[in-house]
Every structure is written in structure tokens, then in C-alpha cells.
Amino acid sequence: ALQTYQTDPAMRKMLTQLYFYIMPVFNVDGYHFSWTNDRFWRKTRSKNTRFRCHGVDANRNWKVKWCDEGASFHPCDDTYCGPFPESEPEVKAVAHFLRKHRKQIKAYLSFHAYAQMLLYPYSYKYATIPNFSCVELAAYNAVNALHSAYGIRYRYGPASSTLYVSSGSSMDWAYKNGIPYAFAFELRDTGHFGFLLPETLIKPTCTETMLAVKNITLHLLKKCH
């Protein structure tokens, strides 16, 4: 984005008219553990006093239909929702930030791995969001922009019907708290096995995803809500 600011009018428009808040890694401890111990680790690394299991699924820990369908009360399960909503410091910190700025924030994008999907609410139920036509059009254009880079096809649609039903997700929380555009990217897997990947493996996913993000952002500037 910064490298093309001078040469790309669309990028210049985006960066001039909008603020971007970027969190490179949400689940820092869990991400580190995925490189050192378990590649498919998805939870945080918080300790449980009653069980020997570690962590909470941070995307089941938000206060929106918390620990309903698609989440587990058992601390050893991958989809453990935690002892209470926002029990994890990672979730609590981001929720606090979003609550503080929610009147100004128009879009919330989260990035996960992996499935090659672009999802939007709802996750916790089979229902159509009020601004469905706007969000659906933004998703459609975004996956087409992504496809234009390397020919990778992403599925898109409501998370509940496109992937599975899950409760307590950050995307649903953001939407229910007044952020009209809430998306979750399930990125295609570049893989990691305890060593740094060559740039040639990581760059394609970054390039194509940036095209999708750029497309969503430009759609947002059209004030379609």
C-alpha cells in the first residue's frame, strides 16, 4: 500500500480518505506455538487450573451467542469457548479497542487459515443480514479481484452456510456492534514446518489478498450500507 501510494490513484484515495488500524498477529502466543510445537494449533495459550489443557479458541470467545452451536465448553476441545466471554486478554483488548472506536469504524476484516473463502455474517445462525445486497456485492467483487492475480477461486457467502455454524466469532461481534462491513478471509495455506518460508511462497497469497482488501475498501467508499 505504501509503496504504490504515489503511482496508484485508487490506493492514494483509500489512504487519504480512511484510517487503517492493522494488527499483524492477533493470537501471538498461539501463533508462536504453531511454529514450534503444533502446526495446526488454533487456540490461545492460557492455562486452565482444573485441566492440563491449554488455551481457548479466540474466535469462540466473543460475546455474541457465546458458547452456543459450534463451540465447546470443554477446555481440551479445539473450539473451547473459554470460561466466560472475553476471558482471553487478546480478545478483551481488541473488543475494548473496537468498542472505543466503533462509531468511526466502517469495516472489520479478520484473516484466518485456511480454506480459500471470504465469509461474512452470520456465523451463529442461518439468516440474512439487513445489508446483505451491499455486503454480497462487495464479496463478489473482492473474490473476482483476488482471482485476477493467479487464478485462485475463493468461495464466498454467509459463514454459517458457506463454512459451518459457529458462535462467539469476532466477525459476528463486530457486525452486531454496528460495523456494517465485517468479513473473515480464510486464506489459502502456504504451509510452515518450523522454518521461514521463501518469499516466493508467501508473496502470491499476500498479493491476491491485497487485491481483495483494496476492492472491499473502494466499495466501502461508495457509502453502500
Reported as a single tens digit per residue, the pLDDT across 67-99 is 999 999 999 999 999 999 999 999 999 999 999
The rounded mean pLDDT for the chain is: 91
pLDDT attached to residue 195: 38
CATH architecture assignment, domain 9-26+89-222: 3-Layer(aba) Sandwich (3.40)
Q: How many angstroms separate the Cα of 158 from the Cα of each of 118, 152, 182, 184?
A: 9, 20, 11, 10
Predicted confidence band of residue 185 (pLDDT cuts 50, 70, 90): very high
- Find the mean pLDDT for residues 21-32: 95
- Rg, Å, the chain Cα set: 18
Identity at 53, one-letter amino acid code: C
Q: Which residues, in sequence order, are CB contacts of 189 under 8 Å at separation 6+?
A: 113, 114
Predicted confidence band of residue 110 (pLDDT cuts 50, 70, 90): very high
Contact assessment for residue 214 and residue 140, using Cβ atoms and an 8 Å cutoff: no
Predicted confidence band of residue 193 (pLDDT cuts 50, 70, 90): very low
Mark whether 208 is an active-site residue.
no
Predicted confidence band of residue 222 (pLDDT cuts 50, 70, 90): confident
Reply yes or no on whether the pLDDT at 196 is more than 50. Answer: no
- Find the mean pLDDT for residues 143-168: 96
Residue 113 DSSP SS3? strand
pLDDT attached to residue 135: 96
d(CA 78, CA 215): 33
Q: What is the length of the chain?
A: 225
Which of the following is catalytic: 88, 186, 199, 208? Answer: 186
Percent of the chain at pLDDT exceeding 70: 92
- Backbone φ, ψ for residue 114 (5° rounding): -150, 150
